[in-house]
Structure formats: C-alpha cells, structure tokens
Amino acid sequence: MIDRILEEVQNGMLTAAEAKEKLSTYENLGFVKIDHHRKNRQGFPEIVYGEGKSAEQILTIVQSLRARNDSVLVTRISLEKAVIVQKNCPEFEYNEIARTLAWTEEKPKTNGYIAIVCAGTSDLSVAEEAAVTAETLGVNVRRIYDVGVAGLHRLLDNIEEIQNADVSVCVAGMEGALPSVLGGLITNPIIAVPTSVGYGANFNGLSALLSMLNSCASGVSVVNIDNGFGAAYNAVLIHRLAHKGEK
Amino acid sequence: MIDRILEEVQNGMLTAAEAKEKLSTYENLGFVKIDHHRKNRQGFPEIVYGEGKSAEQILTIVQSLRARNDSVLVTRISLEKAVIVQKNCPEFEYNEIARTLAWTEEKPKTNGYIAIVCAGTSDLSVAEEAAVTAETLGVNVRRIYDVGVAGLHRLLDNIEEIQNADVSVCVAGMEGALPSVLGGLITNPIIAVPTSVGYGANFNGLSALLSMLNSCASGVSVVNIDNGFGAAYNAVLIHRLAHKGEK
Amino acid sequence: MIDRILEEVQNGMLTAAEAKEKLSTYENLGFVKIDHHRKNRQGFPEIVYGEGKSAEQILTIVQSLRARNDSVLVTRISLEKAVIVQKNCPEFEYNEIARTLAWTEEKPKTNGYIAIVCAGTSDLSVAEEAAVTAETLGVNVRRIYDVGVAGLHRLLDNIEEIQNADVSVCVAGMEGALPSVLGGLITNPIIAVPTSVGYGANFNGLSALLSMLNSCASGVSVVNIDNGFGAAYNAVLIHRLAHKGEK
Amino acid sequence: MIDRILEEVQNGMLTAAEAKEKLSTYENLGFVKIDHHRKNRQGFPEIVYGEGKSAEQILTIVQSLRARNDSVLVTRISLEKAVIVQKNCPEFEYNEIARTLAWTEEKPKTNGYIAIVCAGTSDLSVAEEAAVTAETLGVNVRRIYDVGVAGLHRLLDNIEEIQNADVSVCVAGMEGALPSVLGGLITNPIIAVPTSVGYGANFNGLSALLSMLNSCASGVSVVNIDNGFGAAYNAVLIHRLAHKGEK
Amino acid sequence: MIDRILEEVQNGMLTAAEAKEKLSTYENLGFVKIDHHRKNRQGFPEIVYGEGKSAEQILTIVQSLRARNDSVLVTRISLEKAVIVQKNCPEFEYNEIARTLAWTEEKPKTNGYIAIVCAGTSDLSVAEEAAVTAETLGVNVRRIYDVGVAGLHRLLDNIEEIQNADVSVCVAGMEGALPSVLGGLITNPIIAVPTSVGYGANFNGLSALLSMLNSCASGVSVVNIDNGFGAAYNAVLIHRLAHKGEK
Amino acid sequence: MIDRILEEVQNGMLTAAEAKEKLSTYENLGFVKIDHHRKNRQGFPEIVYGEGKSAEQILTIVQSLRARNDSVLVTRISLEKAVIVQKNCPEFEYNEIARTLAWTEEKPKTNGYIAIVCAGTSDLSVAEEAAVTAETLGVNVRRIYDVGVAGLHRLLDNIEEIQNADVSVCVAGMEGALPSVLGGLITNPIIAVPTSVGYGANFNGLSALLSMLNSCASGVSVVNIDNGFGAAYNAVLIHRLAHKGEK
Amino acid sequence: MIDRILEEVQNGMLTAAEAKEKLSTYENLGFVKIDHHRKNRQGFPEIVYGEGKSAEQILTIVQSLRARNDSVLVTRISLEKAVIVQKNCPEFEYNEIARTLAWTEEKPKTNGYIAIVCAGTSDLSVAEEAAVTAETLGVNVRRIYDVGVAGLHRLLDNIEEIQNADVSVCVAGMEGALPSVLGGLITNPIIAVPTSVGYGANFNGLSALLSMLNSCASGVSVVNIDNGFGAAYNAVLIHRLAHKGEK
Amino acid sequence: MIDRILEEVQNGMLTAAEAKEKLSTYENLGFVKIDHHRKNRQGFPEIVYGEGKSAEQILTIVQSLRARNDSVLVTRISLEKAVIVQKNCPEFEYNEIARTLAWTEEKPKTNGYIAIVCAGTSDLSVAEEAAVTAETLGVNVRRIYDVGVAGLHRLLDNIEEIQNADVSVCVAGMEGALPSVLGGLITNPIIAVPTSVGYGANFNGLSALLSMLNSCASGVSVVNIDNGFGAAYNAVLIHRLAHKGEK
C-alpha cells in the first residue's frame, strides 16, 4: 500500500496531503478517534466495545458510525445504557443475554452459515454475543446449544448440522472439553471460546482456556475467555473466504 | 481403637508396654521406619516410593517387607536400581514402561476387574503404573489404551468393557477431556489421573489437572499429576468394597 | 450399547427411529435439554445446578424432573429463588447452610452410611451440601464436624465411627491437612473436598486443593474446591457398589 | 452419520458388522491404533507426533501410513531417529530446523498460498514446522521471516504479500506483539503462534500467549505455545474452504 | 552524606543534636510521619497516596504540606473525599478521570515536554494520572491518546511529536504492545505503564505487564500496573536531567 | 502424655473413662466444639476467629470462654457484631482499626516487650491486630509505625528500641522489604507479616510474601498474608521462653 | 548506635575516620566484602552460601573467617568443592546429606536443645542442613525423623521429646501437613520448612509452602522452601533468648 | 519522517525507489535482516543477542556490523562461540562473567557516569553485562558491588558515589529490596534489574521482579529478569539526555 501511494505521489496523481490522508483517515471526536476507513481496509466497520464508556459517548460514536455504514454493533453494553442510546436510535435492537446493541441493513449474501455450538446453559451469554456479531455482519447462524460432552448423544444428534457449517464457534466453560470432541468429529475449522463459567479450580476460565489450547484435536484455534465477539469475527472472515467466488 | 486398648489395659489384658507397642509397631532401619502393622491396619503392605532412595536402601526395605507380606511393590524405580535389587531378589519383576519392581503371591480373589483407560500412547507409563499396582495388590485389570476423545469411535467401541468394571482409572494428558466424556457414558466411579504429557500451555500437567477437577460429569474424582499408583490404590479400595460380601 | 442397538435394528426389533430415540431421549425445554434417561443410564436423576438460572427456569426444570423421578435436588440456590419455587412445590425443603432445595421419596435401602467429616465450623456449608446430596439420593449420612488437625483428640475420639463408614467425604479449608491424617488412620476410600475458606496465601482454596492432591496418605482422591455435591455423588456411587449384592 | 448408518442397516444395505466397522476402522499395531479412515473423515491423513516414540515405533507407523496415503508427516522428531527411519524410507526428507520428517506426492492444487510470518530469527524452528506442515498437506507457502515490530519498516515492506495470502500463520516469542500489529494492517484471518523464545518474565511463552489472546486486533485466533503444526493445520483447513469451488 | 555530617560534627560546625535532626526531620502527625525534608533530598515534596486514608487524614497532611511547598499532589482520591478537602483548600483542583487532587505554583521552567502516549480510550484514567503528576511537578506535557497498534496509522501520524519529547510515558492495557512498537520508532527513553484494562486472560493487567517486560525494543522500562504516577515521576526525573544545565 | 496416662490407668489411678476425658475435653456447643483444655495444653485460651460467624455464635462462645479464662480475644470481627456482643459483655473493648474484640485481666508479668514495627500507614490494621493480640495475652508492646525503607532515617531513629525487644513483629505491604533491612540491623528474631496492601503486580500480598520468604537477612520467619494475630502469637511464645526463668 | 557514635565523635572520643570504620568494617576481598563485625553485631559469624561460588573463592573466604571466629559454616557446597577446601583446611567436616562444610570449636553452653522434626526420608537433606547449622552455632540438636502424618503413631511416640525442646524445626514436603498437626500437640514455637520433595501438583514445594502459611495451628512460622539453614538460624536465636539468663 | 519523505518525493528530491529504501534499509543475510540504519535512527548500532545463534551466524553478523560502526556488542555468548569469533576478529574482548563479546572505538565523551549497583556476589553476571554494555556504548561506569540491604553500612558507605551518577542500574536477586532502599536515599533515576538468583519461593526471579514493581520508593523503573543489557541501554539513553548540551 505504501508503495502504491508513493508511486501515485511521484506520478502526480496524489499530493502529499492527499497521500497522508489516505494513510490516516479517522474522525477525531476528542475522547476517541473513530476509524471510518476500517470498512475499506478490513471489510467491516469498527465494532464498539461498550464497557467503560458512558451512554453519551456510545451514542456519539454510534451516530457517527450509523451515518457511514450498513451495520453498527456495540458489545458489552448494559441495559441501562442501551435504553439511553435507543431513545435516539430506535432502530437498534438490544439483546439482553448477549448484552449487545445492534443495527444492520446487511442481508446474508450466501446460504452458508456459521454453527454456534455451546456446551451448557450457563455459556449462553457468550454464545449469543457470537451469534449476534455474525448476524450483524451479514452471515447466517445456526445455534446448537446445551450439547456438552457429559451427554454425548445430544452432540451426536446435531453433528451433521455442525459439519455442514463453513466454520464453527465452539463455546464451553468448566473443563472446556467440547472443542476436542467436536474436532475429532468434523472437518472444518473450529474457533474455540473458553468461558469463565465455573467455580473453584476453574480460576475464572483458566481451566477451559488451557484445555482448548492443549486440544489433542487438530483444526481448533482459540480466542480470549468470554470473547464471543472475537470468535464470531474470525468465523465471519473465514466464511467470507469460503464464499469469495460467489455472487 | 484407643478406647479398646485403654479398656484392655484396665482389664489387665494388656500391660502398658504392650499397649504402647500396639500403637507403634514399626521396624526402625535407621534411615527409615518401616510400618509392618500397615497390612493389619490398611489391608495392604506399605508401598515403596523408589525415587530418591539408593538401590541399597531399596534392597534393605524390600527384603524386610518380603519376609512379612504376600506382595511387595516399588514404584518410580530406574532400571539400574532394579537390576541391583533383582540380583538378591530374582523373583521380582521389573516393568520398564511403568518403572515398577514388583513381586506378589496374591491371586485375584474375585472375577471383578478394574478398567485402566488411557487417552494416548504417551500416557502409557502412568497407565502401566496403575495396572501393575492393582495387579500386585491382587485385583484383575483390563487395559483399554489409546482411546482419546479426538477419535471418539475408539472409545465407543470399548465402552461396554469399561462399564462392566467395578471402577475405572482414567489416564489422560494434554487437555484431559477423557474423564468428562467417559463420566457421561458409564455409571461407576472414575478415578482420573492427569499426566504431564504435553508442551507449552500444558504447564506440566496443570491443564489436564484443572480439566479433571472441573469435569462437568459426576462420578469423577482426581489424584495428583502422573500418580498412577494413587489412582490404582483408590480403585483397589473401591473394588474391595464392591466384593466385600464375596468369598 | 451401540452394538446391541445395531443388532436389534438388524433383527427388526427396533426401527431406525426407535434406535435413534434410544440414544438421545431428552426433553427440549428451549433453554435447556433435560436428560430424562439419565436415571436409566446413571442410576440417579439429573441434578440441577442453580447458579446462573432464574427462579422461573429452575421451577420449570424441577417440575419436569419431579414428574418422572423419586427425588429432585437443586444445588447452589439462593433463599430468594427457593421461596419462589417452594410456592409451587411446597414439598421441597430448603437447607440454608447447604443452599440446597431438595425433595425425595427415596428411603435408604441399606444400613451402611457415608461419613461427612469436616475440619472447621467455616467449612459447614460445603459439608452440608455433601450431606444433603447423599440423603436426597437415598443414602444414610453421619456428620462428624469440627475435627480439624490442630485439635487431634477431637478427631481420634470419632475415628471408629468414620472407619465404619463405607466411604468418607472429608471437607477442609486453610491448609487442608485433614484427609492426609485421616488417610493414615482408616482403610476405606476418602473423597477429599478442599474449601475456599481462608485468606491471604490460601488463594481461594488453592492451598487446600494442592495439599489434598499431594497427600502422602493413600486412598485419597479429590474433587473441585467447594464441590460438596460432587464428593457426595462419588461417595454414593461407591456406597452403591459396596451394597450391590444386598436386597 | 449415525443416522445414515442406522438407516442403511435397516434397509439391509449394511450388516451390523459392516456398520460397526464403518464407525471404527483403525489398524491396531499394539502400542497404537492408527486411524486409516481419518483421511476420509478429515481430508488429511493422521500426523505422527514424534516426541516420546522410539525410532522403531515411528518407522512402523510411517510405513503403515505410507502405504495408504499421498503424504506422511512426522513432527518433533530428532535427527537421530530420522536417520533410522530414512534408511527404510529414503524418500522422506528431514528438515533440521523444523525437526520434521516428511514425504508427499501431493501437488498444490491452487495458486493460493499461506503466509508464514515470523518475528525473530529465534522463532524460525516453529515457523518452519508450520511451513513444512502446509507444504506436506499440499498448499503453497510464502515465508516472511524476521519482521518483528521493533523494526516496523521490515514488516511494512512485506505487507502486500501477506495481505494477498488466504490466511496467515503469525509466529512470535518474547512479547508476542506481531499479530496485533498485523491484524490492524490486513483483512484475512491470522492464526497466531506464541513461542517459548525469551527468558525471565517470559515464563516459557506465557507472555506471548497472553498477548495474543488479549490482542486488540480482530481476526486473530491462537494455538498452543510452539505449536507450528497446529497453526498450519488450521490454515490449511481455511485455505481449503477458500478454494473449495476451484478445480 | 553521613561522611559530611560526621566531619561537620568533628569540626564543631554541628552539635550531635543538630546532626541527628539533619538525618531525620519529619513531622509526626501521630498516624503518619510527614517527610518535610524530602523536597531537599529528592527535589520534590512527598506525594500523598489517597487510597485507604480518610478525608480528614488527607486534609491534615495536605495542609501540612501546603504550608511548606510549592505544589501538593494527592493520587487515588475519590470525588467524595476530594470535595471535603476542597472545602478547606479551594485552590486545589480535582481531576475526575485521573482521580487526583492537586495544587501547584510551579511553572514549567523549560520548553521541553513529556509525551503521554496512550493505547485506548479505556486507559485514559492511568494516562491522566501521569499527566497531572508531571504538570503538578512543573513539567510540560503533550497528550497523544488513542493510538493503539491495531490502527498503526494513528500512531505514525503522531510519531514526530513523540520523538521530540525528552521522554515518553507509554500507557497500554490488553496485550500491551504499544511500547514495543514505539521503542522501534523513537530514540528517547520510554517508561511503560501496563493497565488492568481487559478481561479474561488479561488477568488484571498481567498480560500487558509481561509484554512490556519482554519487549523486544530497547529503551523501555516498566512500572507497576496502573501506576501512572510512578511513570510520570520517573519521567520528571529524566526530564530534569535533560535540562539540568538550563536556567 | 499418652505414656503417662496409660501408666496411670494401669496403676489404677485413672479409669478408662477418666483417661479418655483427659485426652478430649471440650465443650460441644453443637455448631462448634470449644477446647477448654487448650489453656492447660498451650498456655493460652482458644482465640475466636470472627469471620463467618454470626454475632450470636460469637456471643455464645465468648461467654463460655469468659467463664473459664483470664482473657478472651475475638479477631476479624466487624463493628456491627461487636456492638451486639458488647451489650452482654460490656467489659470487652473493640478496636476499630484492628477489628478485634478483647477482654483481659492478664497483667504483663515481665518488663520485656515485643516491638511491632510497621512500614506504612496502610498496614496499620494488621499491626494493630498484632498489638492487641500480644497485649491481651499479657505481654507489653511497643508500636514503631510508619518506618518503611523508602525513608530509611525514620527506621534508623528507632533501631535501638527495636533491638531491645525480645522479638519483633515486622509488618509490611507492597514490596515487603522492611524485614530484610531490619534483619541486618538487629540480632533478635523477627516474625514478618506480609500485608495485602498495594495494587497491580502486588497480587494481594503475594509480592510482599515472596520478598519475606526470600529475605537475604537471617533471623526472619514468615506468617500468612495479613495474619497479624499469628505473628503476635508466635512472638508471645518466644517472649515466654525468653522470660521463663523469671518470676 | 548512630546516636552513640555521633556523641563519641563530638566528645572527641572518636575521630570521623574511626567513626566511619565503626559503621563499616568488612574485609574487601575484591569479589566479596566479608563482614567481620557480624559476630559482634549479630552474635554469629557470617555463614557462607556455597552455590555459585568456586572452590577457590570459598577457600579464600573460609580462611579469612577461620582466622577470626570459633566456627565456620558453608552451606550448599558440593562434594567436589568441599574436597578442595579440605585439602587446606583438614579440620573441616563435610556432611554429604546436608551438603555442608563446617568447623566449630563452640561447645553447647546449655542443656536445652532444638528438635529437628522431619516428615519423610526424602526430606533428610533439608533436615540435616538445619541440624548441622544449629550444631555448628553451638546448640544441641535432637533428630526426630520419618514421623509424617500418614503414620500418626510414629509422631505420637516422640511427642514428649519434641515438647521438651525450646523450639522445633519442622521439615515436610508433599502436602506439608506436619507443622499443623505438631502445632496442635506442643506449646513451644515451631519453625516450619517446606521442602521441594514431591511431584506433579507439588510445583516444587509450593504445595507445602502454602499449607504451612495457612496452618490452622498457632505458633507456626515459615521460612523459604528447602531453607534448612534459615530455620535453624531462627531456632538458634530463640534458643539463645530462652537461655539468656543462664551461665 | 513519513511526512518528510512524502514531501521530498513530491518535490522530486527523491524517487519512489529512493523513498522506499529510506524506510527499509537493512542487509538481508538470509537468516537475518541486519538493520544498518539503526545507528542513524536510534543512535546506537544493533546489539547481537547470542543465544540460539551459531558461532558462524554470529561471526557473519559481527563482521557486517564491524565494517559500518564504531562498536559492536554480542550478549549471552558462550566462551566456545566467542573463541571461534575471536579467531577472525582478534580485536574483540570476551568477558567471562558477563558472557559478552565486545569491541569499541567509542571513547566516553563526558565525565558523567552510570553507577552499576549490585546486591550480592551471585548477581555479578547480570551487573557485568550491564557494565560492559554501557562501556561499549561509550559511557563511563562505576561498579558498586556486594552492597545488599542485609548489611546496610556497606551501601551507606558508597551512597555519595551513587548519588553523583546521572542514573543508576540496580541489580538484585532474592527479595530484590535494594532499589527500594536506594530510591529513598538518592534523587536520580534508578533502573532496577531483578535477577533469577535464589531458590524455592524465589520462582526464578519472580520474587525480586514483583518487589521492584511494587517499590514504595519513587524513581524506580524495572526491566526483565536478568536483563542487564536492557537496563544499561536505558541508562545510556538517559545519560545521553543528561549531557546532550555538552560538547
């Protein structure tokens, strides 16, 4: 990219000022620099991490993004803050389990889908964050919940639906064994998300995290504890690759 | 026990000296106090932990135990030391994988058995330590090896044999998911043994240990990393309970 | 099991649909899949983990289980939620120390019992969770509380009652030394439960957990920190084995 | 899959024995069960983890796999063992930096490639393990080495070649910052591999591992410390998805 | 210093009492010993750490320092306590983001400045603590905020301003990669401050702390997690050295 | 002791019942077994740990101890609970900083004293717990507070008073360097108490704990984080030894 | 001390040079500054830590100390180095288990003794380091070895001898439960030494260390893992206090 | 920098090719990209980290750097490798304690110096690495060794020499208390280096690292465990600032 810009400058196609703008085009709202070129560079608009931001800050950012994109996603936002934002942006939907606030005009462009697989009912919050993320970014999702390894038949019943997904997001807390078992049964990539669900020697998700990193099954990669958003974002990138030739 | 001894002393059935001996009857070899009453109290003779003891020390202890018991077991003993002991005690058998030196005249008194289930080929050493321990203490063993969760069909093929055991010892390294899966499939107790097999975020068995402690399956209890002996000892105690009425 | 079902299908004794149902028979309540065949497979109905579930969700699950089983147990449930459930299910009893909600029509079928041994008064909550679990699953319990190793005579006074149990659950916080001492005095299996009681270098139960895993006494296996339920469940499985021949 | 097999059994298309074989078809070599159906199920033959296996064991497994597949890969194998295997299998190539032994008749079927990006010269061993893995599984690789963040211009010079890959494997030790920086510059998925390179507060790769899990850039997922093989395997799965429509 | 005092005592220039006072001159307020000679010894007055002190205690200390110095700084003080202190000391300014209460009559004596560089909006609180500390101690500050490595162009746009500072304070949470990248781009010293911003495998700042300690860039030293004050204090010491010849 | 009791039983000086009582004489209050022979065995009455006990439970225990001893000490008790106890036991004094409730009729029997040395004002709570403990057990105390190593002259000014103590309790948080410095300056034993005071990489007292355990000065031993009581108890035992010949 | 020296300087009793020498009187051997006034200040000569020093360096230091003291102790010295030192200092004795090299002309001045209590045979090395340290510093020692808590009767048999010591050093590895049990049985101070003996979840002595720090018994303080020397040094200080009035 | 280059391109002062070269001018030796512009950008040539590189690789790099700079430094290089390099580069000096290989034609340009302060004789290796680094980069050094806090008078004797340095590097293992004590005595910045010297609860330098990060003294910043080079590099940067006006 630098090469190309330098060439264009030399060819007189770009002034130095224009070249500089190309490299750094974000809106400076004072407390935050919003990256509006992200959609160009990354293919998706900037996602807003709600924790630690006030409702007013979120509203400002959301309105700025809303004006320039087809979808906007806020993660880790409380009901209280969401209500304040919704007063000005009533088209945004709040998902209480996922703690997300989202608006999208993206329509899924492919029939492919991401499987969101989840071990227990306590992991729902993380699984839903993943599901909403993928949907907001314009990808179909199938939810396969409560299929932990202690009741193997529940998982085996749903294995074909998972196998037919382009990629799976696999959410599990406690001992985090589900991705290992799943990895032995299917052939597509798995993004594993450890959750902080558990107690005692779980150490806030450390147990599940280590399990997943040490998985004896191939095809499993891992994101941070409780990071449903990150897993879905990865899955969406892979999904896009899997359908890049389609129209 | 204290009550009974006190009574016997008062009744003149025991002198104070005899009473005292009842409470503390071990042979003092200088560097170690061998507990010869252990077989009475615990039902099994003292097991010798070979690590950190010289071949000569082990030989002295082994000969002392050999004279008073039906079986003798040394764990964590190197081939070099074992050879030295075997010169004097040729009836002892060395198991190179388990690193055990054992002699037994115990014959299994029941048809029941303990299942030793093991995830991968790298966990063999710990699994064999468990197997030899149980056999030396007079209990039948069935070895079900290399049935890790990444190839679930291998485990399912053997599930009936595991279910029919009184109790299972389940050995796994890396992410240690096997006990959780097994716990959902069978109904008898499982003693889980994490192994230090793995690398990186395995942290010398910590990953498998935490997995097993956090197992979402009921009926699973855990012993120390690589402690095949301890798991088998527990299993033998449970096996004895399961057959206590038999003759 | 798979073998047998396959055979029955081939013999025309089962249709494929029936075969499939045999492998996966749970009730899908939307947010959770209740496993009603668990009692058949495992011998005990599914236990409900109350933490993170709403009173309404617990009520729905409890009513579903109540209709098909002889006993129902909810663990880690707050008084507030319990009161709501009890309005519809007044036959359920709430134990404030154990934080359990239970109903059972099971009567102990044997004279055998499980000893629940507890080091200090602060460990009572975990010990009671274990006691209620065993009682709800139809097994007699003897409570031997406040017998920590710093006052050894308290433990020695009760040693015969503990020895006569089929199996002991041994609950201790702080340095968690009780199972090691007990393991040297009795000959039946001990399920050790570390508790998070303590402060400073206790690190929320890590100290007691490591102590128990490293116990120099044989016959001790360990469950997760504060997992009174899991320990009792293990003990009940062992108790069942010890009395399987009885009627 | 279970469904389909059950149906075929009922339709008389399969006998129970055939059905069972379908579910569990591996070769039992005694010390290990080789999974010959893996290529069917997973699309790639089983990879052999050399650590802890003797040269003889590796040779036996390699010959068994060689007879049935188009490529065979052994990872973490020392030069000494490799030489022994090569005597019988001279067509196998040993890579000393990667410590891999490989043979392949697979030809890359697409023009797409995986970028193997590596921070420092000390991470070469892990990067090469990744590169050899991908090449053995029939995928083109581009090596972009020694482009750590402390000399940012080295990375920027190569950014277009990385961006044009379907997927990148990003290897870094010490503080592991490279995936975060790369994630902000490209739009395809990144599989991050922390290495154990470093000293002191590196804690054998923990520092890089935590960095990568906490990456502020989206599109990054992580595998175990030093797991070059696992990262490449993931990348190959993604590459296959990206080219599934091609012929 | 001891040498000199001893000499002066011998020369009769000091009595023993005077000598002793020279070595230990602090005001004993009962609950705390305020060190009024600190300004002489260290060049700066004692800074008050507000956490764990009552508003009344802080007021007493602040008034005592106010009477003898040109600037007073209280860190980690809540709004509630600050309001109470301000009633008596209205000239003190409270900074809500930094949670500092400060008063200064110091005027910057040089044109040099410290750059406070900050990765994300969530790290603002720590960055502001650093900025207020430097300003209160009489040094100019330039704030360069929200320039995390995932949007590299934001950092590159500001690199010249950072390079021209005598020394930089570099604040980052999550993976803490910013100091490594910055260290490769500029030539003056960097004081890195990890923050506890993040979740999951961040472990309250451990991830960023380890990253910074393992930085592959030279010229980076590290202070405690969230210790904006300590970083700025170090930077002020370095700034003073850089301008010691000026008047 | 066992020997002597056994002899007395044989000599008819004791019945078995009396012998048994000698070994186990505690009052069973239901929820707790109070050890009234502790004063005989240990020289001091049982101390009550208030955390996790209700005001009512504490009152019951306190009244039982009050009736049989010259001093009673409750540690870690909140003001609310203390007020309730004081209604019935108005002679008890509550120390808000130490969070202790104490009553004593013990008068110091020696002129010797214990020095309670404390690094910073934030460590006062732990230091006071130590001071109250020693005083309640009848030993004089000298408080030397706020003498942390960053202002060395404060410590040096008080060094003679510390040296003249029989034994010192040395309380420090943050980096916990005080015992090492003190250990090089005095010749009597030091009981070091790490406190949880600090933030970030302090990890709740871990930093100070490790410092003290690794102290390069001899004569330092360590108790648990924040365990002012335990340190003082140790110091009182040593003080008693130092004055055992006195009357 | 500073006060007194300052006074003497003012009184003309000391010159400044003499005063300075009083504060810093050590021999500068180049690679190390030997502290010959330590015996005056601390009552015992400097002890030499052998690890990391060459035989030649040790010899130089030992000869310097030998000339000015009644006893010299080198800890953590290998047999090879000891042999070299002994060639020049044949009066020094090497203890292979303790890995100490010692010479003493000190005769025990009291009948009192220190009890060295040790849990298992594998802890002997640390226990012997403690024993040799105390003996070299002129204090009687009683060794009570192999009395771990798993065979409680061994400990009870020796309890009177331990109780009669002024102070005990209590050495234990694995779960480190011995000090807690001992602390409940005796009334004098206990210095607990965790050892690194164990495996798996022992984590090189962490398990025993945490146990001892969390001991529910009062009167226990702790030194570093494997620090037999430090424990004995503490015990010698306490012993000296206990006999300070004697002649 | 980017701005300026872009401008020059537009002005025709640079071609695109020249511009690109300006941004990335390193020599590609195949296995490593040597950064020859580093001296321009950073003021010092690239330093070679010897660990993990072969003697031949080091030789190649060294010769390339030797040709273009006034000084070359290799750290963490064994004697064996150094001897091989020295055969071709006899002007290089090997320091066995520091494990450095260095050559310099730089002469110190100022009278200022860096104080290298070191707690114990075992920390010498790290201290010497720091000293050689500073000297090779052309800065005077004063070595103040063996002044640990347990013998405070040794430190006080040298305090004036340390105070007069522009900046101090303070090296300490075990409890790492020296920087805290030093920080209270002097007024210039301190770069603290924890070392891995110690055993047991030292955890390979973790104890000293945490101590230094939690230092209660201001003016202390920290580098990685054993990173003598990094500390000296920081000190050299600060020294340069302190003398930037001088000629």
pLDDT attached to residue A1: 43
- What does the block give as tokens for H60? 């190649």
For chain F, give the mean pLDDT. 88
CA distance C98 to chain G (A): 23
Pick from C179-193, C197-211, D47-61, F23-37: least confident: F23-37
H96-153 pLDDT tens trace: 999 999 999 888 889 899 999 999 888 999 999 999 999 999 999 999 999 988 888 8
* Mutant choice from H154, H161, H195, H207 vs G, greatest count of G C-beta within 10 A: H154
- Position D218 pLDDT exceeds 90: no
CATH fold label, H114-242: Rossmann fold (3.40.50)
Distance of CA F69 to the CA centre of its chain: 17
- Position C158 pLDDT exceeds 60: yes
Mean pLDDT (whole number) for H167-195: 95
- In chain D, what residues touch H194 (CB-CB under 8 Å)? 200
Percent of chain C with pLDDT over 90: 61
- Position A24 pLDDT exceeds 60: no
pLDDT attached to residue D61: 92
- Position F67 pLDDT exceeds 90: no
Give which of D209, D210, D204, D207 is closest to D224, Cα–Cα.
D209
pLDDT attached to residue G20: 59
* Mutant choice from E158, E216, E238 vs H, greatest count of H C-beta within 10 A: E238
pLDDT attached to residue E1: 44
pLDDT-derived band of residue C46, with 50, 70 and 90 as boundaries?
confident
Residue of A nearest to D210 (CA): A224
- Position H68 pLDDT exceeds 90: no
The model scores a pTM over 0.95: no
| Residue ranges of chain B with per-residue pLDDT less than 70 | 1-6, 16-43, 247
* Mutant choice from A1, A10, A11 vs H, greatest count of H C-beta within 10 A: A10
CA distance D47 to chain E (A): 30
Between β-strands D190-194 and D167-172, what pairing exists: parallel, antiparallel or unpaired? Answer: parallel
- Position F177 pLDDT exceeds 90: yes
CB contact under 8 A, E217 and D119: no
Beta strands in chain F (DSSP E): 27-28, 33-34, 48-49, 71-75, 93-95, 100-104, 113-118, 140-144, 167-172, 190-194, 220-222
H205-216 pLDDT tens trace: 999 999 999 998
E177-228 pLDDT tens trace: 999 999 999 999 999 999 998 899 999 999 999 999 999 888 999 999 999 9
Contact H126, H171 (CB under 8 A): yes
Question: CA angle F204-F209-F213, nearest 5°?
Answer: 165
- In chain D, what residues touch H20 (CB-CB under 8 Å)? 157
Give which of G219, C41, B215 is closest to F42, Cα–Cα.
G219
pLDDT-derived band of residue E3, with 50, 70 and 90 as boundaries?
low
- In chain F, what residues touch H202 (CB-CB under 8 Å)? 210, 214
CB contact under 8 A, B31 and G151: no
- In chain F, what residues touch H194 (CB-CB under 8 Å)? none
- Position H32 pLDDT exceeds 70: no
CA distance F146 to chain E (A): 6
H/E run at residue A220: strand A220-222
Contact B97, B123 (CB under 8 A): no
pLDDT-derived band of residue C1, with 50, 70 and 90 as boundaries?
very low
Longest dimension (CA), chain B: 67
- Position C39 pLDDT exceeds 90: no
G/C touch flag: 3 or more CB pairs below 8 Å: yes
Interface of A with H (CB under 8 A): 2-3, 6-7, 9-10, 15-16, 19-20, 23
- In chain D, what residues touch C2 (CB-CB under 8 Å)? 20, 23
Distance of CA A10 to the CA centre of its chain: 40
| Residue ranges of chain G with per-residue pLDDT less than 70 | 1-6, 16-42, 247
* Mutant choice from G3, G10, G15 vs E, greatest count of E C-beta within 10 A: G10
Task: Output the DSSP codes for chain G.
Answer: -HHHHHHHHHTTSS-HHHHHHHH---EE-SS-EE-TTHHHHHSSPPPEE-TT--HHHHHHHHHHHHTT-SEEEEES--HHHHHHHHHH-TT-EEETTTTEEEEE-----SS-EEEEEESSGGGHHHHHHHHHHHHHTT-EEEEE-S--GGGHHHHHHTHHHHHTSSEEEEEE-TT--HHHHHHTT--S-EEEEE-----GGGTTTHHHHHHHHT-SSSSEEE--TT-HHHHHHHHHHHHHHHTTT--
Contact A141, A134 (CB under 8 A): yes
Residue ranges covered by each domain of chain C: 2-104, 114-242
CB contact under 8 A, D23 and C2: yes
- Position D70 pLDDT exceeds 70: yes
pLDDT attached to residue F33: 67
- In chain F, what residues touch C151 (CB-CB under 8 Å)? 26, 33, 35, 38
Report which of residues C189 and G245 the model is more confident about: C189
pLDDT-derived band of residue H1, with 50, 70 and 90 as boundaries?
very low
- In chain G, what residues touch B32 (CB-CB under 8 Å)? 121, 146
pLDDT attached to residue B26: 57
pLDDT attached to residue F36: 65
CB contact under 8 A, E151 and A31: no
- What does the block give as tokens for F150? 């960053």
Percent of chain F with pLDDT over 90: 61
Longest dimension (CA), chain E: 67
Contact A134, A110 (CB under 8 A): no
H/E run at residue C235: helix C228-242
CA distance C33 to chain A (A): 7
> C4 CB contacts (<8 Å, ≥6 apart)?
none
pLDDT attached to residue A153: 84
- Position E232 pLDDT exceeds 60: yes
The residue type at E31:
F
Between β-strands E71-75 and E48-49, what pairing exists: parallel, antiparallel or unpaired? Answer: parallel
Contact A191, A166 (CB under 8 A): no
Between β-strands C113-118 and C167-172, what pairing exists: parallel, antiparallel or unpaired? Answer: parallel
A28-47 pLDDT tens trace: 665 666 666 666 666 677 88
pLDDT attached to residue G1: 44
CB contact under 8 A, D197 and H226: no
Cβ neighbours of H125 (radius 10 Å) = 19
